[in-house]
């Protein structure tokens, strides 16, 4: 019984010998990869500014996120775990919290999704919740879609004075003063 094992081992050992010579080893030289500079940061920020009536720059949008990807211009990116502020004429009008945000400066749009909460600053006390919102900065309009809920509870009030939902969609201005529910 030992012979078949010995012969098998010998045949396998000799199979690599003789015959054609093996090709010489190929030398591969890897080109160094071009790397972008890395920056250690605790949060990512996207900020939009526009010239005001007096010509000075005023804020239009501020977003902070735990992580994400931002284009070199610092005004376009995909962000995760984000909070932000929407401005109109340089004044903060509403804040928002969203799991996912895409800010695109070229189209002047911000899309927040994954369950978004928007709170008015002026007037205070209005809260809107939706699956997704799209903010159009040039027209100062927000379109909310998917399970839209609205509540108005003035500061110091014990209860909401207005509430409603779920709606399929709703449109409102940046400061949530005018609301349209189709």
Prediction pTM value: 0.74
pLDDT of residue 175: 66
* Angle at the Cα of 124 from the Cα atoms of 118 and 125, rounded to 5 degrees: 65
Two tokens at 2? 């030992």
Q: Judging by DSSP bridges, how do beta strands 77-88 and 91-104 pair with one another?
A: antiparallel
pLDDT of residue 21: 54
Is the pLDDT at 14 greater than 90? The verdict is no
Confidence of residue 42 (pLDDT cuts 50, 70, 90): low
Confidence of residue 73 (pLDDT cuts 50, 70, 90): confident
What whole-number distance in Å separates Cα of residue 125 and Cα of residue 1? 90
What whole-number distance in Å separates Cα of residue 63 and Cα of residue 85? 7
pLDDT tens digits, 114-134 = 999 999 998 899 999 999 999
Is the pLDDT at 28 greater than 50? The verdict is no
pLDDT of residue 182: 79
Is the pLDDT at 1 greater than 70? The verdict is no
Q: How far is CA 158 from CA 125, 153, 162, in A?
A: 12, 8, 12
Confidence of residue 174 (pLDDT cuts 50, 70, 90): confident
β-bridge partners, 34: none
What whole-number distance in Å separates Cα of residue 41 and Cα of residue 111? 24
Residue 151's CB is within 10 A of a number of other CB atoms, namely 17
Domains and CATH numbers, the chain: 42-180 (2.60.450.10)
Is the pLDDT at 41 greater than 90? The verdict is no
pLDDT tens digits, 135-150 = 999 999 999 999 999 9
pLDDT of residue 36: 42
Cα 118–chain centre separation: 16
Instruction: Compute the radius of gyration of the chain from its Cα atoms.
Output: 30
Q: Judging by DSSP bridges, how do beta strands 179-180 and 162-173 pair with one another?
A: antiparallel
Determine contact, residues 78/63, Cβ cutoff 8 Å.
Answer: no
Residues 6+ apart with CB under 8 A from 140: 88, 173, 174
Is the pLDDT at 75 greater than 70? The verdict is yes
Two tokens at 73? 């211009």
* Mean pLDDT for the stretch of residues 59-86: 93
């Amino acid at each position: 019984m030992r012979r078949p094992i010995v012969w098998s081992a010998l045949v396998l050992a000799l199979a690599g010998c003789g015959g054609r010579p093996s090709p010489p080893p190929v030398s591969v030289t890897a080109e160094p990869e071009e790397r972008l500079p890395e920056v250690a940061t605790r949060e990512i920020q996207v900020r939009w500014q526009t010239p005001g009536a007096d010509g000075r720059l005023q804020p239009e949008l501020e977003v902070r996120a735990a992580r994400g990807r931002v284009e070199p211009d610092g005004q376009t990116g995909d962000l995760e775990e984000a909070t932000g502020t929407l401005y109109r004429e340089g004044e903060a009008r509403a804040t928002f919290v969203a799991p996912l945000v895409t800010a695109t400066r070229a189209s002047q749009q911000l899309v927040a999704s994954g369950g978004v909460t928007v709170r008015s600053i002026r007037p205070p006390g209005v809260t809107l919740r939706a699956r997704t919102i799209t903010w159009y900065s040039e027209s100062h309009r927000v379109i909310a879609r998917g399970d839209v809920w609205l509540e108005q509870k003035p500061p110091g009030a014990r209860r909401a004075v207005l509430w409603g939902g779920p709606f399929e969609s709703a449109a409102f201005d940046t400061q949530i003063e005018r609301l349209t529910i189709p």
